[in-house]
Amino acid sequence: MKILITGGGGFLGSKLCEALLRRGVLTGPSGEAEAIDEVVLLDAFFHVAATDGRVRQVVGDIGDRETVFEAVGSREDTVIFHLASMVSGECEERFDDALRVNLDGGRHVFDAARAIVGRPRVVFASSIACFGGEGMEAVNTDRTKHTPQTTYGMTKAICEMLVNDHTRKGHFDGRSVRLPTVIVRPGKPNAAASSWASGMFREPLNGEACLLPVRRDQRHPMTGYRTVVESFVGMHEVKEERLGSDRAVVLPAHVVTPALAEAVVREVAAEKGITLGPWVEAFDSRIQGIVDNWPQAVDGARAVALGLPVPPSLKGIVEAYVEDYLG
């Protein structure tokens, strides 16, 4: 079996690659477990060279159709995980690039999957940014209307509909995993409007100041990266007849505020002897304005009914980050 991961050089893409290599098998077109013998990672750049002989890194632009088709190839036993995307803050500032990368890039991936003989399985990484504006509810579910108020959310919503329609037409077997904000991402802050969500855990734990751009009572749905990777694999493994015509599933998530995050981080730090950096008020009306149009709570009951995992406690998510990245 061949696996293609777009965005394979990124945080979640590399974590997913590691998980699949450890697992060694996925359910194939035969309906039986098939060995993974090739993993192709497509991304604009890679921080670390691959060391596993099954892995091939392809440096390229998801917005270039020929590059995508070459990476996808023609093997009938190909599985695609489409994670590549510009992040939310970038999309607001660079509208045309957002369309080229998120929308055209998605179309290239879906067209390449359609060209494969048979009916390959495609798992797409969507976002709760599909929700927003007047259609948003107090608790958003898979039945909540899509009225996104960001360019990022708009591109994700369109790709979800493309996945559903390609699936309806028999082009491929598509599934969309609608992600809450994923914590705790290692490294430095990025251009995502939700970058503060990881930063309010990561920077203090690293002994650095967290510049907090939103209100301390801002509610936001969050889940851990280990749970997200497990959910990508789990969504692939769900039997098709259980999914119906709506192939997009929102994951369960904790409702987290910066005040709650600080309390949990202080608890973990006290237990593990970590000296914390400070939380510093650095209100940013642009970021707050974007976040104000995002959902504050989601209901992942459908995902759980399909067998996808429930995230551990918020403290457990923080402890996982400490274990994985602070040693």
Residues known to be catalytic: 152
Query: For residue 9, what are the CA distances in angstroms to 43, 97, 129, 199?
Result: 6, 19, 23, 21
Query: Residue 248: in which H helix or E strand, if any?
Result: strand 248-250
Q: At what angle do helices 105-115 and 65-72 cross, to 10 degrees?
A: 40
Query: Rounded CA gap, 234 and 173, in Å?
Result: 15
Report whether 73 contacts 66 (CB < 8 A). Answer: no
Instruction: Report d(CA 225, CA 231) in Å as an integer.
Output: 10
* DSSP character at residue 2: E
Number of other residues whose CB lies within 10 A of the CB of residue 288? 15
Residues listed for the chain = 327
Q: How many CA atoms lie within 13 A of 194 on its CB side?
A: 28
CB 21 within 8 Å of CB 229:
no
Could you identify the residue written with the tokens 């993974």? 36
Residue 196: count of CB within 10 angstroms of its CB: 26
Report DSSP state, residue 322.
I
Instruction: Provide the sign of the torsion angle of the four alpha carbons 289, 290, 291, 295, taken in this order.
Output: positive
The contacts of residue 31 (CB under 8 Å, 6+ apart) are none
Three-state secondary-structure class, residue 323? helix
DSSP 102: I
